[in-house]
């Protein structure tokens, strides 16, 4: 089913209930449906875009995000929501790679954007003229039509676009109902994390059930979150572990949080001590998910009950894990040759389910390396015990997770090696209690830190920029000339460089 038809059904059941709420106003489900159908009509008839057109969304969190997303689907087109913190050059690379024909962007992003096609600034006169009373209410019912292309960084340094169909996202929503909990029209989804990622994906099951969506005016704002928890009921939101850490450090801890229902957290490892503290503060509301853009939000889960029950195992072991397979999901651990290995052995995590992508856009080789015999090879290492509890041992080889954002060193290395006085470069992650990891660059060459900082800021998103630089005469290598990043990480952990 095309997901926009789920909105159409919801708008008939709950026409006067709030669907989207923000600081300056709100939309009922009837108004939400009306805007979606009018914008969809304009995409097909005013812009004359054919079905299957790819439309990018370079947007900070705003109420229009959900309207545009569902309008793209109603027009039988494909949405490409993008991280709003990307550099203009990174946006442009994705536009060219995906063959985007139109871009919706919030104003501050649109002003800096480079694109040879139309850019519609959200909230502008150009945007508002799309709502002229002409409606598009029907759409084809092909479950396998691409709905959302999720660009996720890869070890080659270039992003890869995971193709997610309407079926993928619908099954993701069903898994929410089965594993996280029931949603009704009395629930509210608070969007304080990027809607281009987990927060926006998990808006879908809420919209299908007629729940409200509140868009935080300042993104992640602990004061606002605690305020909402004290004033509203049945509040659920998505959070990276670093965000939970900031909530725990807030002066509001100990106040009224009676409106809290669920905190879904994921996107990176969370320290055991932080989980235990979060349980003390937030009680029965915590739910951890492990997923990837290639299997959105849906590989394994540490359920609310598992945060409090030991199931005959050491409870610290459970809390340090990523739980068990989601409903309708199969997980296995395999060796390098793809053979399943015994319980408690470390290998690559693979998964299969109706949530798994169909492949990477315009990247056949990456698709073949990742999808094999119906299984998604995650690139993550882990083990499963006899009870089916999955423990992550290492995220994809060199992946750095900082503030819930995935950062691949190769992308930074490919850039810095182009700097005239840099001879060799290696980028690794270094533990940071607040953000999870810092990006550290090991440099062989005569460059100065300030020069490299400026160079990165001119070509990369700010959050990818190295926080620390270490200048060496040479990088450690094995007999085959491969740089030994593990040795660099070990030296960092021993405090040899700082």
**Of all residues in the chain, what percent carry a pLDDT higher than 90?**
78
Across the range 226-249, mean pLDDT stands at 94
Lowest mean pLDDT among 134-138, 187-191, 209-213, 439-443: 134-138
In our burial notation (b when 16+ CB lie closer than 10 A, e otherwise), range 78-104 reads bbbbbbbebbbebbbebbebbebbbbb
| 116 pLDDT above the threshold of 70 | yes
Smallest Cα–Cα separation from 400: which of 412, 384, 389? 412
pLDDT band, very low/low/confident/very high, at 98 (cuts 50, 70, 90): very high
For the CA atoms of 464, 157, 65, 247, what is the dihedral angle to 10 degrees?
-40
CA-to-CA distance for 215 and 235, rounded, in angstroms?
Answer: 12
Angle between helices 29-45 and 3-13 (to 10 degrees): 140
Token pair in block for residue 128 = 């508002």
| 283 pLDDT above the threshold of 60 | yes
What pLDDT does residue 445 have?
A: 93
What pLDDT does residue 338 have?
A: 93
What pLDDT does residue 479 have?
A: 47
Per-chain mean pLDDT for the chain? 92
Across the range 125-154, mean pLDDT stands at 88
Q: What is the pLDDT of residues 155-204, one digit of tens each?
A: 446 789 999 999 999 999 999 999 999 999 999 999 999 999 999 999 99
What pLDDT does residue 171 have?
A: 97
Across the range 107-120, mean pLDDT stands at 94
Query: If you compute the radius of gyration of the chain from its CA atoms, what whole number of angstroms results?
Result: 23
Q: Which helix (H) or strand (E) holds 348?
A: strand 347-352
Token pair in block for residue 12 = 């008939």
Across the range 220-244, mean pLDDT stands at 95
Across the range 443-472, mean pLDDT stands at 93
479-to-127, 465, 473, 475, 476 alpha-carbon distances in Å: 59, 31, 18, 13, 10
Looking at residue 244, the DSSP 8-state letter turns out to be H
CA-to-CA distance for 66 and 435, rounded, in angstroms?
Answer: 28
What pLDDT does residue 486 have?
A: 83
Say whether 264 sits in a helix, a strand or coil: strand
CA-to-CA distance for 416 and 424, rounded, in angstroms?
Answer: 9
Q: Which helix (H) or strand (E) holds 161?
A: strand 159-165
Residue 124: Cβ within 10 Å count: 11
Residue in the block written with tokens 């992308």: 411
What pLDDT does residue 155 have?
A: 43
| 128 pLDDT above the threshold of 90 | yes
Report the relative pairing of strands 212-215 and 18-22 from DSSP bridges.
parallel
CA-to-CA distance for 373 and 356, rounded, in angstroms?
Answer: 12
Across the range 490-494, mean pLDDT stands at 88
End-to-end Cα, the chain, rounded Å = 55
Across the range 353-379, mean pLDDT stands at 96
183 vs 242: which has the higher pLDDT: 183
| 86 pLDDT above the threshold of 50 | yes
**8 Å CB contact between 369 and 396:** no
**8 Å CB contact between 299 and 379:** no
28 contacts: CB under 8 Å, gap ≥ 6:
15, 16, 17, 18, 19
pTM: 0.86
| Chain centroid offset of residue 255 CA | 30
Lowest mean pLDDT among 36-40, 202-206, 267-271, 313-317: 267-271
Across the range 424-444, mean pLDDT stands at 90
Across the range 311-326, mean pLDDT stands at 94
Q: Is the four-CA dihedral 472, 477, 481, 484 of positive or negative sign?
A: negative
Across the range 36-48, mean pLDDT stands at 97
| 495 pLDDT above the threshold of 90 | no
pLDDT band, very low/low/confident/very high, at 396 (cuts 50, 70, 90): low
What pLDDT does residue 481 have?
A: 53
| 54 pLDDT above the threshold of 90 | yes
Q: Half-sphere exposure of 383 toward its Cβ, with a 13 Å CA cutoff?
A: 11
What pLDDT does residue 224 have?
A: 97
What domains can you pick out in the chain, each with its CATH number?
3-384 (3.40.50.12780), 400-493 (3.30.300.30)
What pLDDT does residue 431 have?
A: 85
Smallest Cα–Cα separation from 4: which of 207, 210, 212? 207
Across the range 30-34, mean pLDDT stands at 98
| 434 pLDDT above the threshold of 90 | no
Token pair in block for residue 5 = 């038809």
């Amino acid at each position: 089913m095309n997901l926009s038809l789920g909105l159409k059904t919801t708008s008939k059941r709950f026409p006067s209930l709030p669907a989207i709420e923000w600081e300056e106003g709100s939309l009922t489900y009837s108004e939400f449906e009306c805007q979606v159908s009018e914008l969809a009509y304009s995409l097909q008839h005013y812009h004359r875009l054919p079905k299957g057109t790819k439309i990018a969304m370079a947007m900070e969190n705003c109420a229009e995000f959900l309207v545009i997303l569902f309008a793209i689907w109603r027009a039988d087109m494909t949405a490409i929501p993008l991280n709003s913190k990307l550099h203009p050059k990174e946006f442009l690379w994705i536009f060219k790679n995906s063959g985007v024909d139109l871009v919706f962007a919030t104003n501050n992003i649109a002003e800096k954007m480079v694109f040879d096609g139309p850019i519609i600034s959200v909230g502008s006169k150009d945007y508002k003229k799309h709502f002229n009373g002409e409606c598009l209410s029907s759409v084809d019912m092909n479950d396998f039509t691409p709905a959302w292309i999720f660009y996720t960084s890869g070890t080659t340094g270039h992003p890869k676009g995971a193709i997610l169909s309407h079926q993928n996202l619908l099954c993701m929503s069903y898994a929410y109902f089965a594993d996280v909990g029931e949603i009704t029209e009395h629930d509210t989804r608070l969007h304080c994390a990027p809607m281009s990622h987990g927060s926006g994906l998990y808006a879908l099951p809420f919209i299908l059930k007629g729940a409200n969506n509140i868009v935080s005016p300042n993104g992640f704002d602990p004061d606002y979150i605690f305020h909402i928890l004290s004033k509203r009921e049945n509040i659920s939101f998505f959070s990276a572990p670093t965000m939970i850490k900031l909530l725990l450090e807030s002066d509001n801890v100990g106040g009224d949080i009676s409106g809290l229902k669920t905190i879904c957290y994921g996107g990176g490892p969370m320290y055991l001590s932080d989980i235990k503290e979060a349980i003390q503060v937030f009680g029965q509301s915590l739910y951890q998910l492990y997923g990837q853009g290639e299997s959105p939000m849906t590989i394994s889960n540490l359920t609310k009950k598992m945060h409090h029950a030991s199931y005959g195992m050491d409870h610290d072991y459970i809390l340090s894990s990523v739980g068990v397979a989601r409903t309708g999901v199969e997980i296995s651990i395999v060796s390098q040759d793809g053979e399943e290995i015994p319980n408690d052995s470390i290998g690559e995590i693979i998964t299969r389910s109706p949530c798994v992508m169909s492949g990477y856009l315009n990247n056949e080789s990456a698709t073949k390396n990742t999808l094999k015999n119906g299984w998604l090879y995650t690139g993550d290492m882990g083990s499963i015990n006899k009870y089916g509890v999955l423990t992550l041992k290492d995220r994809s080889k060199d992946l750095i997770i900082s503030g819930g954002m995935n950062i691949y060193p190769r992308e930074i290395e490919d850039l810095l090696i182009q700097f005239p006085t840099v001879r060799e470069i290696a980028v690794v992650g270094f533990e940071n209690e607040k953000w999870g990891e810092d990006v550290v660059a090991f440099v062989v060459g005569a460059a100065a830190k300030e020069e490299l900082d400026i160079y990165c800021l001119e070509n990369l998103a700010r959050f990818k920029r190295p926080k620390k630089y270490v200048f060496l005469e040479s990088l450690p290598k094995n007999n085959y000339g491969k740089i030994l990043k593990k040795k660099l990480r070990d030296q960092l952990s021993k405090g040899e460089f700082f």
